[in-house]
Every structure is written in C-alpha cells, then in structure tokens.
Chain A
C-alpha cells in the first residue's frame, strides 16, 4: 500500500468550524415545524387539510390521558410480537434446514419463492375468505413478513460459513462445541440478526397495512377512524406514532447489530 496515502493530513489549514451533526440534522425538521405553525397561524391551508401542530399535540395528549393510546398501541404491539415470534422462529428453522440440506432446500424453494412473490397486499384479501377478518389473519400476515428475510438470511449465513476458517479450526483440533462457539456462531449470528432486523421492520409495515385494510383496533385503525371522521389531527397523530415506533424499533436493532459486528471493518 501507499504508505500514508489515505490518512488525514495534520498541518493543512485548521478545519473550518462546523455546526455539530445533531444541530444540522434538526435544522430541517425545525424549519418544517415553523412552516407548519405559520401555515396554521396565517390560515394558508384549511384546518381540515392541515390542523395546527398544537391541535395535533392536544389530540396526542387526549389519546394518552384517556388510555386509548396505550390500548391501541398494545393491540398493535401484541400482534407484532406474536406474528414476529412465529414468523422469525419458523424462518430460523427453515433457514437452517435449507442451509444444511440441499434436498430440503430443493423441496421448499419453489413454494417459498411463490410465497415471497405475492406481497402482503395480495395475501390480505385472499386469506380474508378462509380466515375471516380478525386476529388470525393479522398474525399470519405479520408472520409472513418476518419469515421471508429471516429464512433467506439464515440460509445465506450458513452457505457463507467461511470454509478456510473451518479448516483452521480443524487443524487446531477443535471439538464440535468449540467449533460452534468459536467459529460457527460468531460467523452466522450477525447476518442472521440482520435478517431479524429486516423482519421486525417489515412486520411493523405489514401490520400497518393489514390494520388499515381489516381491523377494528390498533394504530392503523386509528388512521382509518380519523379519516372517516374527518379528524385530520387524529390522522396526523396516528402517523407520527407509527413513524416513532418504527424508528425506535429500527434504531434499537441497528445499535445491537453494530455491536454484534464491531469486529468488522467499517
């Protein structure tokens, strides 16, 4: 390699002072909020198009104090939890099976691809007839959303097990348990976890879709209700809540993922 080709020079002119990252990041949302406040204050848009931020805030407070917020959020989270554990658990089993036994993969691959190919939006009306509108439908749909990425990532992680490292382990005469603990798990856990993370994110997105289409409670239903009642503040509050929960899921899992992969080069 070129000796220091890509390292940073010290003595070129001092770096210009720059706003810290969080402040630039918040600049745009702050600007948006100011515009929103102004639009409401000066009546640029009718309140039924865009209610004032304080109205949305009040609605959120109402939802929180009446317990409705917790109730709907619990419904939604409960469905995600059930669907996700079912889907991810099945995905792990299928992925390990497909990764270890080629004939198992050959058996399930076409059916699996067919299932993958049809999106949530197609499954909902199809399954609605045999399953009816209700909890089962929603959990099946959410489970399918988790199943796909977890299965694929688990299978790929097993396929991608570094053979050269297994050979290194063999030369040190590692036992089965040592092999599992020192080589197989460290190599497979991070990619599998990536699948889990995608799985949980898509569970949340699928849940919103299914709650919009076929549900009578949950955060998605809150949107439907608000829309039917022309309560725009409720709709916006609902969207904010859905976004916030999605963001929290993803940020938390991304942090865990980074920890699992910290030995990798950036």
Chain B
C-alpha cells in the first residue's frame, strides 16, 4: 500500500490507526462513554490535570521515594555482589539460597513486608530495596567473578597488591556489568515505587493517582498516569545509560 513511505513514518501508522478507531468508536456511540471517552476530551482533561500542582507534588514524592529505595537496595546489592564475586566460600554458602529467592515474584513480598514493616514509609522503602537488590547483586557478582584471568595475571606479573588488583583490575573489569545492574535496579525501583504506592499506602505519589483514576473511572487521569509512568521510566533508564557511557569511555559499544 505505501511502497514509497519512508520507514520512520511507517511506525506512526498503528498509533494513528488506533486513535482514529477510538475516535470513530466514540463518535458512533460504541461502548460506555464513561469507560471510553473520545480521545479529544481525554486530551483536554489530561492537559488540565498536567497544570494541577497536585500532580507535580505526587511525582516529586514518587521520585524521591524511588531514589531513596534505590540507594538502599543498590548499596546492599553492591555489598552482597562484591562478597560473592570475591569469595568463593561466600558464593557457595549464600549463592544457592540467593538464586532460589530471586525467583520469588517480587510482589509476593508485599504481604510479608506489610506485616513486618507496617504500611508506612519504611515498608515502602523496604519493598523498593528488595526489588533493587536482585539485579544489582547478580550483575556485580557476575562482573567481579568474570574478570578475565589473563588480565589478573598481568597484575601478578607487575606485583599488584590485593587492593591494587581489586581497584585497578577487578572493579574496572566489572564496571560495565555493575552499571548494567544499576540500570536494571533503577527500573525495578521505579516499578516497585508504583507498586508500593498501590499496595502499601493509599493516595500518595503517582501510584496513588492511578488508583484514584481507577476508582473514579477517570480514563483521562489513568492514561496520563500510565504515560507518565512509562515516560519517567524511560528517562531514568536513559539517564543511567548516559552515565554508563561516560564512565566507561573505553568501550566501543556500551550496552
């Protein structure tokens, strides 16, 4: 049909088609207008909502919570990953338990955390930290343990001390992997933040807004919330990716 259309415009077709179908369905009065309001009115409500200072506050609360939980979880994950990567004994002792625990679907922790930490901020931070620990620890561990033995031997030839081996060989060699872990950890932290706001407290942050939208059948608010949720996740990811590129200038193709 569109043999001459350049490929970058091709990608716009499905969303545009969806939008048209939506508008069409709304204008012939298909479906409940409460559940599926016309796209135009969603846009207007969303725009009005965007100017509402309450939204900015909610976003600020969520982001702050996300970063605090991330810092906590990343610190734990780094420590744990370093321990397992550097010490074979530690890896044999705690490794299998860790691999079994990482299979627990992260949301299954919520009831336990709620019972142990209550429904307050500690519980939310604990949940975010749990979600962050796994990817960070796993990548740090693999990165450190995977240091090329050939390079370690160069260190031996130049009589590097154990500290020099750690800081000048193992850590730089593991840095790409560590950064990947942190990147994954930050995404998990963001999702866990929203999850924590769903399950562990009513009405705060972006998660609270989504719940509110669902309870009030406010499709505009929901769509706006979901777009913000995805968009902020993408921005956080981009930010860490840029940081990774800057921190590892020796790589030809940073992951």
Task: List B contacts of A108 (CB < 8 A).
Answer: 11, 14
Question: Is A223 engaged at the interface, CB distance under 8 Å to the other chain?
Answer: yes
Docked pose: A59 CA to B100 CA in angstroms = 22
- Check if B115 sits within 8 Å of A232, measured CB to CB: yes
CB distance from A215 to the nearest CB of B (A): 12
- Check if B103 sits within 8 Å of A243, measured CB to CB: yes
- Check if A235 sits within 8 Å of B115, measured CB to CB: yes
- Check if B233 sits within 8 Å of A130, measured CB to CB: no
Task: Choose from B100, B108, B233 the contact partner of A223 (Cβ within 8 Å).
Answer: B108
In the complex with contacts A126-B226, A128-B214, A209-B10 CB distance below 8 A: no
**Interface of B, helix, strand, loop or mixed by DSSP:** helix
Docked pose: A250 CA to B191 CA in angstroms = 22
CB distance from B151 to the nearest CB of A (A): 13
Docked pose: A201 CA to B112 CA in angstroms = 21
Docked pose: A243 CA to B223 CA in angstroms = 33
- Check if B195 sits within 8 Å of A226, measured CB to CB: no
Question: Is B28 engaged at the interface, CB distance under 8 Å to the other chain?
Answer: no
In the complex, residue of chain B having the shortest beta-carbon distance to the beta carbon of A214: B214
Question: Is B144 engaged at the interface, CB distance under 8 Å to the other chain?
Answer: no
CB distance from A129 to the nearest CB of B (A): 5
Docked pose: A207 CA to B105 CA in angstroms = 9
In the complex with contacts A126-B223, A213-B198, A25-B36 CB distance below 8 A: no
- Check if A239 sits within 8 Å of B107, measured CB to CB: no
Docked pose: A125 CA to B217 CA in angstroms = 10
Question: Is A242 engaged at the interface, CB distance under 8 Å to the other chain?
Answer: yes
In the complex, residue of chain B having the shortest beta-carbon distance to the beta carbon of A251: B103
Task: Choose from A25, A117, A123, A223 the contact partner of B95 (Cβ within 8 Å).
Answer: A25
- Check if A235 sits within 8 Å of B222, measured CB to CB: no
In the complex, residue of chain B having the shortest beta-carbon distance to the beta carbon of A21: B92
- Check if A117 sits within 8 Å of B230, measured CB to CB: yes
Residues of A in contact with B, size category:
35 or more
CB distance from A102 to the nearest CB of B (A): 7
In the complex, residue of chain B having the shortest beta-carbon distance to the beta carbon of A26: B96
Question: Is A246 engaged at the interface, CB distance under 8 Å to the other chain?
Answer: yes
Task: Choose from B104, B225, B231 the contact partner of A246 (Cβ within 8 Å).
Answer: B104
Docked pose: A208 CA to B12 CA in angstroms = 34
Residues of B in contact with A, size category:
35 or more
Task: List B contacts of A128 (CB < 8 A).
Answer: 214
Chain B residues 183-213 with CB under 8 Å of chain A are: 191, 194-195, 198-199, 207, 210-211, 213
Chain B residues 152-210 with CB under 8 Å of chain A are: 191, 194-195, 198-199, 207, 210
Question: Is A103 engaged at the interface, CB distance under 8 Å to the other chain?
Answer: yes
- Check if A129 sits within 8 Å of B217, measured CB to CB: yes
Docked pose: A125 CA to B209 CA in angstroms = 11
Task: List B contacts of A235 (CB < 8 A).
Answer: 111-112, 115
In the complex, residue of chain A having the shortest beta-carbon distance to the beta carbon of B110: A212
- Check if B233 sits within 8 Å of A119, measured CB to CB: yes
27 A-B interface contacts by CB (under 8 A): A25-B92, A28-B94, A28-B96, A49-B115, A107-B14, A108-B11, A108-B14, A110-B15, A111-B11, A114-B15, A117-B234, A119-B229, A119-B230, A119-B233, A121-B229, A122-B226, A125-B213, A125-B222, A125-B226, A130-B31, A204-B105, A207-B105, A224-B111, A227-B111, A238-B108, A242-B104, A247-B100
Q: Mark B residues whose CB is within 8 Å of A.
A: 7-8, 10-15, 31, 35-36, 92-97, 100-101, 103-112, 114-116, 149, 191, 194-195, 198-199, 207, 210-211, 213-214, 217, 219, 222-223, 225-226, 229-231, 233-234
Other contacts beyond A125-B211, A129-B35: 10, CB < 8 A: A24-B92, A25-B92, A25-B93, A29-B97, A103-B7, A118-B226, A119-B194, A121-B207, A232-B115, A235-B112
Give 8 closest A-B pairs by Cβ, nearest first: A106-B7, A25-B96, A110-B11, A208-B105, A117-B230, A205-B105, A125-B214, A246-B103
